[in-house]
Structure 1
Amino acid sequence: MRGWRWPGSAGQLGAGVGVMLLGLSLAQSVPPQTACAAAAAPQSLSQPLYQDTTGKETDVGFMSALVQSFLHTVQPNPFPGDLILKIVNDFEREPSNQELTREALVYQVGFLVCAAIGILYIFMMPIVGFFLACCRCCGNCGGKMYQKQTSCIPCRRRTLYWSAFVTTVIILAGNICMFKSNEALKVSVDHSTMQLNTTIDNIHTFLTAVTQQVDHVVNESYKTIKEVSRNLDDIGRQLGTEIQEPFNKTLSPALHAVRLLNQETRKTSIQLNKLNSSLAQLQSNVDHLQANVTAVKSRISETLSNPNCTGCDNLKPELQKLTLDISITIPGLNELQSTVDEVININLTSKIEELEDYLNSIPQRVINDTKDVVQKSKQLLGDIKAQFPRVTSSIPLSALTNVSGALNRVHGEIGRVAPVVERAEHIRWKVCVALCCVVLLVVVCNVLGLVLGPLGLTPKVDPTKRSCTANCGGTFLMMGAGFSFLFSWLFMIVVVLLFLLGGNVYTLLCRPWNNGQLLKFIDTPGLIPDISQTLGLKTNISFSDIYRDCEENQPLWTTLRLYELINLGDLLNVSTYTEQIRQQFESTDINLSIITLLRPEVKNQLSSFSNKAKNFDFTAIRQQMNNISRINLNGTADELDKLAAIQTNTDTRKELQNEARDLRKIQNSIETTTIPQLENLNSTIKGLQSLTEKIHGTVGEVLNDLGAAQDFLNTNTTQIVKTESSKFVDCQLGYFITYTYWANVTITQQVGRCRPVAGAVDSVEIILCSHMVNSLNTFWFSLGWCMIFFIPSIIFSIKLAKYYRRMKYSDVYDDHIIMNHIPLGQMNVT
């Protein structure tokens, strides 16, 4: 990579741009590593909401297991995929093939046997009923209205009664199942239109969502480009602030020290002015006191020299000590004042402002120096923006549009056929209800016979004298048998037809659909158009593979293996544009001139100021102040009072007393005026001493911090600009890396989760097999169940009826002796 060029002490903004942007081509396989606080992650892809396609549950589960078990027994053979393929292929070539016909008949042997039994039933029931009627008309087969009375009559009657009762209950149970399955079939058919429309709506929602999701991915690229463009427009604040930050961290301590030194210097100047004023006041007061003391001393000297003064010579030595010859001087004060003035003249405030202006001007310098490259980079962003829509054009969304059109046509056909189906279903339901009612009529006749027969029967009554109730019971039993003969063979035709239809639909469609054999059959090469060739895939893809992936809610990218058709990495690769951006940023400079924080003469002035402040002598001035505070004129005044007391000369005594009083007045003036001035002066000196002690440390800190800051500016300005510029570029690159990684993951893992497709297949299987076919099979099974039990019902009903009907001829049984003999001529009467 070409090196960075830094004119003078300034830096170039961006060789690091190229290095980072070159990684954009790898974004589709590598997650973003650069953390950028300003970057906003793309919005998550929302999945559509689908309607429930389970529909209203039908109550056919109570019979499904039994019916399916029966059909498994009838047709235990596996799904005949090979046979169906042979039939299809042979039908296209040769309409008749005896071998295939034989194989088909062998496969359907179970159904054929059951159908043969049904056909036998259909033919035999009316024939048997006809012959039975003829025999009864001829007085045979129980047609003779005579019942021989034996001891086993009650046992036979009870046996026949309970047999007929159990048979009737079984028929009633089958009849109830007929009613329920008929209603379940009606509900299934009525709701099938709504369920199919819901399924189609879900597929529509899925197809629409795929297009919207792909558009969402592309739209997020526009947001990314817009965000990067906005950041480029705001490069002054974002990059300039980041460049400022390391300068602030280093220069802030120096600025703080300079501000502190500036404040301490000005406070020192104020304290020095206050000290000079206090010294001037004190010196003036001391001079006045000195003049007063000198005048009093002169008078005392004259008094003591007076001949009339007794014992005055002893006080003359004390008088020599009486003096206030004090001159207050502070060594080095003028030099300190001079250095303070020099530091103030340096104008540290302007230095602070100069440094702050330097820091604050960085964002604007960044804006000025990057104006051209920002404009060119934004043009390249426009080219990148035009590249991302290629993702939409590469994904075959037009096929989804074709499917959507086909679904619209299917939806229209459903709407057109639905009224016809509803009318046909209504007719079917009425017919099946009629069938159920006929079976129920047989059951009712049997039940009435079973109820009225025992209710009106008196066992010991002569058979010719049986009650009307018992006779009606027997008649109802005969009616039930008659209705059974009359309708059973017709109903068996219905059973056979529905059995062949529903049973084969279950065994050839529903059962293999449920266990997966149908999907494997559909995957047979040549049966349906090859999906792989249609999509142009390199590897084969089967319908069962698609269904399995959709059942697991896999995206279309893996389900249809779109990675074999679309090079997503190439679509998301913008390395061509990043190279141009790199070259443009390489030729751009950001000029940050290095300022001189302290000139050598300023350093010398500060050093001199620090030394003067450190070496300033406060001891001498305190010594002078102590000398003043130790002055006490009251002792001399007391001596003068003692001397005045021994004087015999009144004038001398008064003079001595006046002079003592004057000394006390001067001493009082010292205590009331001079001493407070000394205390004020002492406070000022303490404040000044505290400042001078701080100044030495502050000046040292200023020199160290400014020196370190100057070294930092001299050695790190270039690196700071380079580093922060690279970070800024990394931040902008993070948008593209984040987007391309997100787009790759979204397209390959989230777009077009196709569970609704598998749900549509499952929904059709539920509507057709679980509801309709199960209900249909339950109906014919229940009807066939009733027809089978019609046979024992007829037998038991006919035999039991004779025990309740009123006989024409009587037969009395008493102790095993027949009491009444019926003449032979009468026996022939029917």
Structure 2
Amino acid sequence: MLAPATRPSQLQSRLGPSLLSESMQAWRWLGGARSSGVGCPWLLLVASAFLLPAPGQPQQCSLAAPALTLQFADVGADQRVPVHHRLAGSMDPLYGFVQSFLDVVQPNPFPTELLRDALKDPPSANTSQILRYQTGYIICASIALVYFVAMPLIGLGICCFRRNRCCTGRIKVYSRSLLCQRNLFMFCLLLITLVILGGVICAFAANQKVREEIEPGTRDALNTLQALRRHMNGIPRGVQLTVEEFSVPKKHILSDLHNVSWSIGSTIHFLLKETVYSAMGAMKDRVQDLQNSQHHLQTVNKTVHTLTRYQSELESTLKDRKQSIISLLEDPQCTYCVSALSRARNLELGADFRKVPSVERVLKTLHGLPKANFSEMIHQANSSFNSIPELAVVKMAEVIQDLKEEIEKATERVQSIADSFPILDHTRPMNDALARAENSSRPYFKAAKHYEKYRWIAGVVTCTVVLLIVSCNILGLFFGTYGLVVREDPSDYESRGEAGAKLLLTGVGFSFLFSWLLILLVCVTFLVGGNVQTLMCKHWANQEIYKFIDTPGNLPPSMNITQRLGLKKNLNITSTYQQCKDGAGLWEVLQLKDNYSLNDHLNTTKYTKEFQKRLDSFNISFEDITLLSAEGKRDLETFRDSRIDRIEYADFPAEMRNPVVKTNVEGLAVDLERLSKVQSDRTLAAQLADEAQKLRRIQNSTVLTMEGLVVKLKESVQFLSTMAPGFQARINNTENQIGLVEAILPLQTQRILRQELDCFVRKEVGYVSQYLSWLRTVLMEDVASCQPFSTALDNGRVILCDRIADPWNAFWFSLGCCAFFLILSIIFAIETTRHLRPIRHRLISTGSEETYPFHIPRVTSLRL
């Protein structure tokens, strides 16, 4: 039995422009070529052109699954140095303004020569150089010193004048411009107070921000150093873990090798089964045509012989009956017999079967066919073709084992990456240097947290005092304004207005009393934070510090970074930092790539060359599948040359259309019986009835039998006449199709085998390429990356400059603004105080000018 063939539409949908469509196109063309007499060699050449791929034509993997995206373990997760960023906040504009102010205070470039002289042993930098470079800070410190000395003195002087009633007294003369003057002073005092309030709020926020950043900043700095050490210590283990991840592609490759032989055999079977099954189906149809033709030829021959024999017997019988019946009907005694006489005269044969063509010659030619056992032949071909998957498994077993051994060798080659990795010789001294840096920095971080506590307390106390002064100003303005509103006469005494004046004077007193402490705190924090920003942070960000370190002779030998890290070659910090930031590998930065080339170790060909070579040289020689044996071919050729199509089938209908007897025998018998009943002559009536009985016996025994044989003959002749015209072309096409399949099948098998092996190689090489690409990425970005070093440097700048120095500088800047606006606050508070007290009116006499503290009835009401 033939295996069920896949429908062409289904095959097309699964394969696209597949081999099936090409084969069917070739077969359709071959049918016309064979009928036109084209030779078989030429047909084979053309069919090969149809079925074999053109040079350079891209191969399509028919049934092979696409390569998966491999998932590898995150082996470098515990070795990464966390990146710190300064989060955007509401105080960023203030930070930027303070940095711009410091750029004005210190516009000088990085002090390369001064710093080099200062680092010498002994230092050679003189004081004049330092003072010249720090001119901006000296000027600012001088201003602070003047403020520090002048404010207490001025406050002491005002107290003395106040004691002698020489200042902050009352307004003695009323004028119409007094209202505008008083409002102007009060507005300016309020505006200045609000400015001081804004400044002290920013100072509070910045002071708290510094405190919030110091402890996590020191902790993050230590964590960064520890993460850097962990990164250095984890390089050997990390490299080994990345190498061990080769087990991921190895597992997939071994799994594919386990199934590849069956998959390839199944693919060959799947792609060619439509072709093979179609050829075997065509051969089966031709054999069926042969058998059917033999059957119908034998039927025709036997039926014609039988009809001829019956015809001879019927001819003599009808002749006797015709003469007898006519003589009875022509008897004068026979009444009403004229009507039946014409029918009796036609009682003779209508068809002459001796005239039909003879098929004995064709039958003789086909005698003994088929000599070949076509059923066994088709079964054997079907079994051989269906065993291709099992045969592929057997024939590929040896090469599959060799490929598994190559995978094991590739595993050893991958292990050599870890064994020969050059970083391992340099991690110990670098790790020791990082450990020393971590241990030496701990006391400083601890001290920074300790002193930060006192700085924070001083900042809170100072901000509280400034806030107290602001509160005095605001309350004084409130009570003073309220007193002015309710006072109907400028000379009236108002307790609330007097309370407002006293509150303003209290704020002035606090300003003089604590301003020197305020400016002292501002000056100290300014000198520290400003120099950190302009000397370190600014030049750290633009890499001037790295350039200073790179310049030979700037650092003393005891501070040589290369020696401290145990490196054999001097490093350029600037280029090294940039390379690390760009994601370079540590071995590249350490200039070890001359001794170790990662590209050579991660070359895919190094691990897959032998694998590909074995598959490229591998070939399978499948057993030739014989669809049509020589004996079967001779049977088909005998059938084709039997001249069955030369029989004159048109002569058969000519005789078969004629009735067996020209007249209706049954009808004539009925007429005779009817006539026998109306005859007066009993003897004649009996004779007519007897003839009617004889006619019925002829009808039932011979005529009906011959009519049945004619129907049978007609069916066989119809089949043969329908089959005969194109049977030679069908046999020729079947022979061409079978010959084409037998000739092309080995070529197509090799083509599909090569295509599937190439697809398999690309898939497995893709797994190795994925792994090597991942390995490169992990080594350069995680395990043996130099980026953690640049990240650590950037983290140090972010922690020191962005998270600590910026709020530190914002603190002293805000307090400094408060300190200098206190001067204006004092001036306007003193002037406003005079307007909050009742006005003394001046009386003029003839002898002298004297002021009396008595009430004058309503002069002018002074209101806000």
TM range (shorter): 0.7 to 0.9
What is the CA-CA distance between 1:682 and the residue it aligns to?
Answer: 0.9
1:820 partner SS: strand
What is the CA-CA distance between 1:352 and the residue it aligns to?
Answer: 1.4
Q: How far apart, in 2, do the equivalents of 1:488 and 1:559 lie? A: 55
Task: List alignment gaps of at least 5 residues for structure 2.
Answer: 1-57, 853-864
Give the TM-score normalised by structure 1: 0.75
271, 277, 280: which one aligns with 1:255: 280
1:510 aligns with 2:554: no
396, 411, 436: which one aligns with 1:385: 411
Q: Structure 1 756/280 Cα, relative in aligned 2: closer, same or farther at 3 Å?
A: farther
The equivalent residue for 1:142 is 167
The equivalent residue for 2:597 is 567
1:607 aligns with 2:637: yes
Q: Structure 1 240/332 Cα, relative in aligned 2: closer, same or farther at 3 Å?
A: farther
57, 64, 77: which one aligns with 2:108: 77
**Counterpart residue type for residue 352 of structure 1:** I
**Counterpart residue type for residue 183 of structure 1:** Q
Q: How far apart, in 2, do the equivalents of 1:317 and 1:122 lie? A: 162
Q: How far apart, in 2, do the equivalents of 1:532 and 1:737 lie? A: 45
352, 360, 364: which one aligns with 2:378: 352
Q: Is the 8 A contact 1:632 1:667 kept in 2?
A: no
**Counterpart residue type for residue 511 of structure 1:** K
707, 722, 732: which one aligns with 2:739: 707
Segment drifting more, 375-384 vs 181-190: 181-190
The equivalent residue for 2:766 is 738
**Counterpart residue type for residue 293 of structure 1:** L
Q: Structure 1 641/267 Cα, relative in aligned 2: closer, same or farther at 3 Å?
A: closer
The one-character-per-residue Cα deviations of 1:225-277 (angstroms, maximum 9, x if unpaired) are: 44444454445424445665786576444323212112323333454565577
The equivalent residue for 1:682 is 714
TM alignment of 1:30-179, pairs within 5 A: 37-38=64-65, 40-43=67-70, 53-54=84-85, 58-88=89-119, 90=120, 93-95=121-123, 97=124, 99-134=125-160, 137=163, 139=164, 141-142=166-167, 149=173, 154=178, 164-179=189-204
TM alignment of 1:492-511, pairs within 5 A: 492-511=519-538
1:629 partner SS: coil
Q: Is the 8 A contact 2:217 2:803 kept in 1?
A: no
Q: How far apart, in 2, do the equivalents of 1:514 and 1:577 lie? A: 45
Q: How far apart, in 2, do the equivalents of 1:293 and 1:618 lie? A: 29
The equivalent residue for 2:289 is 264
788, 793, 802: which one aligns with 1:770: 802
What is the CA-CA distance between 1:344 and the residue it aligns to?
Answer: 3.1
What is the CA-CA distance between 1:683 and the residue it aligns to?
Answer: 1.9
Q: Structure 1 100/689 Cα, relative in aligned 2: closer, same or farther at 3 Å?
A: farther
TM alignment of 1:292-371, pairs within 5 A: 293=318, 296-297=321-322, 299-300=324-325, 322=348, 333-334=359-360, 336-337=362-363, 340=366, 342-371=368-397
2:290 partner SS: helix
1:485 aligns with 2:512: yes
Q: How far apart, in 2, do the equivalents of 1:565 and 1:533 lie? A: 23
The one-character-per-residue Cα deviations of 1:775-810 (angstroms, maximum 9, x if unpaired) are: 222221222222223334334444554565699xx8
The one-character-per-residue Cα deviations of 1:401-452 (angstroms, maximum 9, x if unpaired) are: 9989999999999999999877765554443222112112223333444444
Q: Is the 8 A contact 2:581 2:791 kept in 1?
A: yes
Q: Structure 1 327/786 Cα, relative in aligned 2: closer, same or farther at 3 Å?
A: closer
Q: Structure 1 584/470 Cα, relative in aligned 2: closer, same or farther at 3 Å?
A: closer
Task: List alignment gaps of at least 5 residues for structure 1.
Answer: 1-31, 823-830
Q: Structure 1 531/365 Cα, relative in aligned 2: closer, same or farther at 3 Å?
A: farther
The equivalent residue for 1:696 is 728
1:69 partner SS: helix
Q: Structure 1 493/328 Cα, relative in aligned 2: closer, same or farther at 3 Å?
A: same
**Counterpart residue type for residue 605 of structure 1:** D
What is the CA-CA distance between 1:604 and the residue it aligns to?
Answer: 3.3
Q: How far apart, in 2, do the equivalents of 1:576 and 1:147 lie? A: 101
What is the CA-CA distance between 1:484 and the residue it aligns to?
Answer: 1.9
Identity of aligned residues (%): 27
806, 818, 821: which one aligns with 1:786: 818
Q: How far apart, in 2, do the equivalents of 1:114 and 1:707 lie? A: 107
**Counterpart residue type for residue 498 of structure 1:** T
The equivalent residue for 1:4 is none
Q: How far apart, in 2, do the equivalents of 1:514 and 1:690 lie? A: 99
TM alignment of 1:546-695, pairs within 5 A: 547-548=577-578, 564=594, 566-572=596-602, 590-594=620-624, 598=628, 600-612=630-642, 613-619=644-650, 621-626=652-657, 628-629=659-660, 631-632=662-663, 651-652=683-684, 654-656=686-688, 658-659=690-691, 662-663=694-695, 666=698, 674-693=706-725, 695=727
Q: Structure 1 289/421 Cα, relative in aligned 2: closer, same or farther at 3 Å?
A: farther
Q: How far apart, in 2, do the equivalents of 1:295 and 1:128 lie? A: 175
Q: How far apart, in 1, do the equivalents of 2:220 and 2:638 lie? A: 99
Q: How far apart, in 2, do the equivalents of 1:121 and 1:354 lie? A: 116
Q: How far apart, in 2, do the equivalents of 1:257 and 1:802 lie? A: 127
TM alignment of 1:193-204, pairs within 5 A: none
Q: How far apart, in 2, do the equivalents of 1:801 and 1:304 lie? A: 172
Q: Is the 8 A contact 2:246 2:414 kept in 1?
A: yes
1:388 partner SS: helix
**Counterpart residue type for residue 406 of structure 2:** L
Give the TM-score normalised by structure 2: 0.72
Q: Is the 8 A contact 2:148 2:516 kept in 1?
A: yes
Q: How far apart, in 2, do the equivalents of 1:470 and 1:736 lie? A: 95
The one-character-per-residue Cα deviations of 1:456-486 (angstroms, maximum 9, x if unpaired) are: 4669766xx8444444344333322322222
Q: Is the 8 A contact 1:395 1:566 kept in 2?
A: yes
**Counterpart residue type for residue 814 of structure 2:** S
Q: How far apart, in 1, do the equivalents of 2:230 and 2:294 lie? A: 84
Q: How far apart, in 1, do the equivalents of 2:145 and 2:358 lie? A: 142
TM alignment of 1:280-291, pairs within 5 A: 289=314
The one-character-per-residue Cα deviations of 1:526-574 (angstroms, maximum 9, x if unpaired) are: 7576679979899x87544455466666777988787555323432458
Q: Is the 8 A contact 1:123 1:489 kept in 2?
A: yes
Q: Structure 1 342/676 Cα, relative in aligned 2: closer, same or farther at 3 Å?
A: closer
Q: Is the 8 A contact 1:369 1:590 kept in 2?
A: yes
Q: Is the 8 A contact 2:249 2:768 kept in 1?
A: no
The one-character-per-residue Cα deviations of 1:707-761 (angstroms, maximum 9, x if unpaired) are: 3345446xxx4x5666555445534432454345445544556754477776665
Higher relative contact order (CA 8 A, sep 6+): 1
Q: Is the 8 A contact 2:70 2:770 kept in 1?
A: no
Q: Is the 8 A contact 2:304 2:353 kept in 1?
A: no
Q: Is the 8 A contact 2:206 2:807 kept in 1?
A: yes
Q: Is the 8 A contact 1:339 1:605 kept in 2?
A: no
Segment drifting more, 315-324 vs 597-606: 315-324
